[in-house]
Amino acid sequence: GESVGLHLPTLSVQEGDNSIINCAYSNSASDYFIWYKQESGKGPQFIIDIRSNMDKRQGQRVTVLLNKTVKHLSLQIAATQPGDSAVYFCAENMRGSYIPTFGRGTSLIVHP
């Protein structure tokens, strides 16, 4: 399953499928990007980050892709599990700033 930017705030997938969550960031001066996962009733939890000198970074079951040309960021989750159900936020950071700007978020619903 795939979401398009922040205009489709809900993504529903079947357990075991791969998920792609997209994010269009706004500031070409941003040089650091983070994906957060927020489960219901909890605070955001760091998933993975990427700096602007990279275009891809992999973690455990997650991959972040960065396309600076079109200012686009995506989070790929392999073999999605029910425990992955949450709201996912991308955040961008301008060089020298300690304050990230958060996107609106995408709600991922994983059906068993």
Partner 1 sequence: NAGVMQNPRHLVRRRGQEARLRCSPMKGHSHVYWYRQLPEEGLKFMVYLQKENIIDESGMPKERFSAEFPKEGPSILRIQQVVRGDSAAYFCASSRPGTGNYGYTFGSGTRLTVV
Residues that bind partner 1 (CB under 8 A): 9, 32, 34, 41-46, 49, 89, 91, 93, 97-105
Q: Whole-number minimum distance, CB 29 to partner 1, in Å?
A: 16
- Which of residues 98 and 112 has its CB atom nearest to partner 1 in the complex? 98
Minimum distance of partner 1 from residue 20's CB (angstroms):
19
- For partner 1, the closer CB: 13 or 50: 50
The set of long-range contacts for 97-105, using a CB threshold of 8 Å and a minimum separation of 24, is 100/32, 100/34, 101/26, 101/27, 101/30, 102/36, 103/6, 103/23, 103/25, 104/6, 104/9, 105/6, 105/9, 105/38
Provide the Cα torsion 79, 9, 93, 71; round to 10°: 90
CB 89, min distance to partner 1, A = 6
Nearer to partner 1, 41 or 83 (CB): 41
